[in-house]
Structure 1
Amino acid sequence: MGTLDTSLFSPDLVFFDIEATDSIDFFGKLHDRLAPKGYLKDTWLDAIRTRETNYPTGLELENISVAIPHVEPENIEKPYIAVAKPVRPVAFQPMAAMVDHPVQAQLVINLGLLAHDEDQVAVLQTLMNVFMDKAACEDILAQTTGEGMVNTIVKRCNEVA
């Protein structure tokens, strides 16, 4: 099984100023941030919107509400993990119909991985372990800089790995 490559986190891929009404709106705004940096193929925006419609990624957990969207590797130019702490929570449909209402995501972690199946599982498992820890969630949500967010997430991921 793969592992979480924490080098994919980067301060220039952390966004605190995205305002969006829902996941579709959010993806358009994230696309506008990531595309100029060379991470995305032209197919990314349609692919991630379609995947999110078919396989929603909103998770309403005890300590935090998050979304962890991703697309198939053929829509990615180079691997990345983008983190957004939007101005206001963004409505995402719940993963596997775990709840009967939209999840108001306080944090969105967009995975752009080239090795899909195995790496995806390892990354999701690591992140879920982090999000089960109340102190880790409080620490992550308290961050206000890209460097602080990356350092905190990497530290917390290493603690549960």
Structure 2
Amino acid sequence: MDATLFCEALTFCDCELGSSDDVFELLGRHLRAGGYVADTWLDAIRERERAYPTGLACQELGVAIPHADPCHIIKPYIAAVRPKTPVAFEPMAGMGDTVGARLIVNLGLKGHTEAGKEDDGAWQVEALQALMEIFMDADKVDEILACDDAAALCACMARLCGGSRV
């Protein structure tokens, strides 16, 4: 995963967010202002989350990894939100109970071209696998939860994700 896609302007700590929709509205404001997403992004991520929920009750942490289709992304990014209290997300693949997400990582990735061949989306699978490895590691989760502001969370996520690339 390309850890340079994390930036402090798209990292949020201890926000008062009551729902996944509040998360999407917060992200949408900042993503549009930064030129990262098209005007269609907010509706697209809401619709995709309804159709394909992204809540994951990992052993160490409840997380959500929402994303919109690449056609709504202008430039790639990874945004991270650690809300003040867990935000309810429906479970991925409808498996299990509603997940109280203590960390939301929004992937705004586009396919990359390598040696003249368009990537088939393996980049997104690789990013999800890298994140899952982090979320299953108790020590890494503790590091994430110990961050006291956006700068620390951004630096922590970039460092933890720096071992792989998209």
Q: TM-score, normalised by structure 2?
A: 0.88
AA of the residue aligned to 1:96: A
Choose which of 5, 8, 27 in structure 2 pairs with 1:8: 5
AA of the residue aligned to 1:68: I
AA of the residue aligned to 2:100: Q
User: What secondary structure sits across from 1:71 in the alignment?
Assistant: coil
Rounded Cα–Cα distance in structure 1 between residues aligned with 2:40 and 2:71: 9
Matching residue of 1:136: 140
Tell me, yes or no, if the aligned pair for 2:80 and 2:103 is still in contact at 8 Å. Answer: yes
Matching residue of 2:49: 52
Rounded Cα–Cα distance in structure 1 between residues aligned with 2:164 and 2:40: 34
Choose which of 109, 118, 130 in structure 2 pairs with 1:113: 109
Cα–Cα, structure 1 residues 69 and 113, in superposed 2: closer, same or farther, change >3 Å?
same
Rounded Cα–Cα distance in structure 1 between residues aligned with 2:21 and 2:45: 9
Matching residue of 1:67: 64
Rounded Cα–Cα distance in structure 2 between residues aligned with 1:52 and 1:45: 11
Tell me, yes or no, if the aligned pair for 2:25 and 2:42 is still in contact at 8 Å. Answer: yes
Rounded Cα–Cα distance in structure 2 between residues aligned with 1:114 and 1:159: 20
User: What secondary structure sits across from 2:147 in the alignment?
Assistant: coil
AA of the residue aligned to 1:112: G
Matching residue of 1:102: 98
User: What secondary structure sits across from 1:108 in the alignment?
Assistant: strand
Matching residue of 1:151: 155
Deviations 1:40-70 (A, max 9, x none): 1010001000000000000011100000001
Tell me, yes or no, if the aligned pair for 1:143 and 1:149 is still in contact at 8 Å. Answer: yes
User: What secondary structure sits across from 1:16 in the alignment?
Assistant: strand
Give aligned-pair identity as a percent: 45
Q: Could you say which structure has the higher strand fraction?
A: 2
Runs of 4 or more above 4 Å deviation:
none
Rounded Cα–Cα distance in structure 1 between residues aligned with 2:40 and 2:164: 34
Where do 5+ consecutive residues of structure 2 fail to align? 112-119
Tell me, yes or no, if the aligned pair for 1:65 and 1:103 is still in contact at 8 Å. Answer: yes
The count of corresponding residues between Structure 1 and Structure 2 is 157
CA RMSD, Structure 1 to Structure 2 (Å): 1.6
Choose which of 103, 124, 131 in structure 1 pairs with 2:128: 124
For residue 10 of structure 1, report the CA deviation from its aligned partner.
0.9
User: What secondary structure sits across from 2:18 in the alignment?
Assistant: coil
Tell me, yes or no, if the aligned pair for 1:58 and 1:95 is still in contact at 8 Å. Answer: yes
Where do 5+ consecutive residues of structure 1 fail to align? none
